[in-house]
Structure formats: structure tokens, C-alpha cells
């Protein structure tokens, strides 16, 4: 039975109901089962050349292929990180570091996750340009408005697929098309979308995509930045 949002146990106590899955999800049973051998005894550095290291490397590469299949990317395009925030940070800083000196402007939406917004502001403090695009009353970016802000000085455009507070779905393919037409890299924080909506990295026209395991039944401390080849 349920009483006031809680679960009434046989002893009469009201237990908690966890309803914050947009923030993080508990590990799924099959995830715990897959991790159990590695937590209970299997070990080895995946960079070691002995058989324990090779076994660990095989597990890492299997995971890389599984992540790639989730978003229709290539396994070699998956770069593992410790969190979605780290992947977002890497996407912006890494891209800006590799772009030509005349491309030093960042374009993001006004409702990006703090790991994008604050990284962009930190880069602005070091001399990069920053353009924060407003959203409408429904929290949606107008692709035409964003396109008008693009120019030959833009290094990267970063717009999330699904907002973590209000659930707005952004027109990512349209935004990516405008970004790439301007010669900029396109990054999408897809942390809230993966596992809930179909994602096709190549079809969306993305250069970079952020994913995080703990949003879809995986463990905390495991995430990825998907980086298109030759980006």
C-alpha cells in the first residue's frame, strides 16, 4: 500500500519512495550483476600487458562498443570520463584549444547545465568570446536566432538535448546544421536524453556528445564524451 507518497511496510512504517530519477537513477539489477565480478575479485590495469590487464582491457573495449551502439557511433569515438560534467568541460576546453586563433567564440543556450555554463564563463575570463542565446517561454532555442549569431569567429556551439529541470527537447539537428555551416563544432549534452529517447550521433550532425551512466541505471563515476572522428 502507499500512504502519502511512501510505501507502507508490513511493520507499519512508511518507507521512502525515490522519485528523483532525473537527477540520478539507482543501478539496475543487471548493471549490479555485470559489475559484481569486478568488485569482488577481478582486477587488473587495462594498460598492463599481462593476462589480468588484457582481461580488463577486453572489458573496457566491450563497454566502449556498447556505449557506441547506444547512440549509433563508432567505438573509437567513445572517450570515457568520470562524469558528465567532466565530459562537458572537456568538450568546450578541448575544442577551444584546438581551433584556429581566429575562432575564439563560444555559443550556448541560456539553460545549459552549470558544467557547460560555468566552463564557458571560465573560458570567457581567459579571453574567449561568449554568446548566451535566450530561450522562449517553453524553454526552447530558436535555431534561426542562434544561426544569426554565428560567424567565422565561433569555435563551438553547445546546446543540451533535454533540459534537466523542465524537460524541454531542443531542435538539435537544426542547431547542428547551422553550427557546422558556420564552420563551428557542435556539442550536445545528451545526459538527460540517453536511454529515454533515440539518439543517432551521426544523423544529428554532432561533433561531440556527452553521456552519463547514472542517468539510465548505470553506476556513478562512469560517463563518456563521444567525439566524431577527425574532430
Q: What's the whole-number mean pLDDT along residues 32-44?
A: 90
Residue 86 in grid coordinates = 567532466
207-221: pLDDT as tens digits: 999 999 999 999 999
Residue 29 in grid coordinates = 539489477
Residue 226 has pLDDT above 50, yes or no: yes
Q: For residues 207 and 231, is the Cβ–Cβ distance under 8 A? A: yes
CA-derived radius of gyration, the chain: 20
pTM comes to 0.91
Residue 225 in grid coordinates = 564524451
SS (H, E, C) 207-225: CEEEEEHHHCCCCCCCEEE
Q: For residues 192 and 116, is the Cβ–Cβ distance under 8 A? A: no
Residue 14 has pLDDT above 70, yes or no: no
- The band of 15, judged by pLDDT with boundaries at 50, 70 and 90, is confident
How long, in residues, is the chain?
231
pLDDT of residue 19: 87
pLDDT of residue 222: 96
Residue 77 is classified by DSSP as: G
Edge-to-edge strand list for the sheet holding 6-8: 2-3, 6-8, 14-15
Q: For residues 124 and 148, is the Cβ–Cβ distance under 8 A? A: no
Amino acid at each position: 500500500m502507499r500512504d502519502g507518497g511512501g510505501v507502507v511496510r508490513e511493520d507499519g512504517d512508511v518507507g521512502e519512495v525515490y522519485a528523483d530519477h532525473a537527477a540520478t537513477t539507482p543501478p539496475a539489477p543487471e548493471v549490479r550483476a555485470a559489475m559484481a565480478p569486478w568488485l569482488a575479485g577481478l582486477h587488473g590495469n587495462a594498460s598492463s600487458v599481462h593476462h589480468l590487464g588484457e582481461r580488463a582491457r577486453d572489458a573496457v573495449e566491450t563497454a566502449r562498443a556498447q556505449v557506441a551502439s547506444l547512440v549509433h557511433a563508432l567505438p573509437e569515438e567513445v572517450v570515457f570520463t568520470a562524469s558528465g560534467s567532466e565530459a562537458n568541460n572537456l568538450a568546450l576546453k578541448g575544442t577551444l584549444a584546438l581551433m584556429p586563433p581566429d575562432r575564439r567564440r563560444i555559443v550556448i543556450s541560456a539553460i545549459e547545465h552549470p558544467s557547460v555554463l560555468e566552463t564557458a564563463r571560465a573560458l570567457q575570463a581567459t579571453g574567449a568570446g561568449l554568446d548566451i542565446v535566450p530561450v522562449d517561454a517553453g524553454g526552447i532555442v530558436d535555431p534561426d536566432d542562434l544561426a544569426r549569431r554565428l560567424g567565422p569567429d565561433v569555435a563551438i556551439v553547445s546546446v543540451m538535448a533535454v533540459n534537466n529541470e523542465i524537460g524541454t527537447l531542443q531542435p538539435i539537428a537544426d542547431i547542428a546544421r547551422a553550427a557546422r555551416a558556420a564552420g563551428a563544432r557542435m556539442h550536445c549534452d545528451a545526459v538527460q536524453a540517453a536511454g529515454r529517447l533515440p539518439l543517432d550521433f551521426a544523423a544529428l550532425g554532432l561533433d561531440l556528445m556527452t553521456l552519463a551512466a547514472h542517468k539510465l541505471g548505470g553506476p556513478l563515476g562512469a560517463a563518456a564524451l563521444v567525439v566524431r572522428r577527425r574532430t
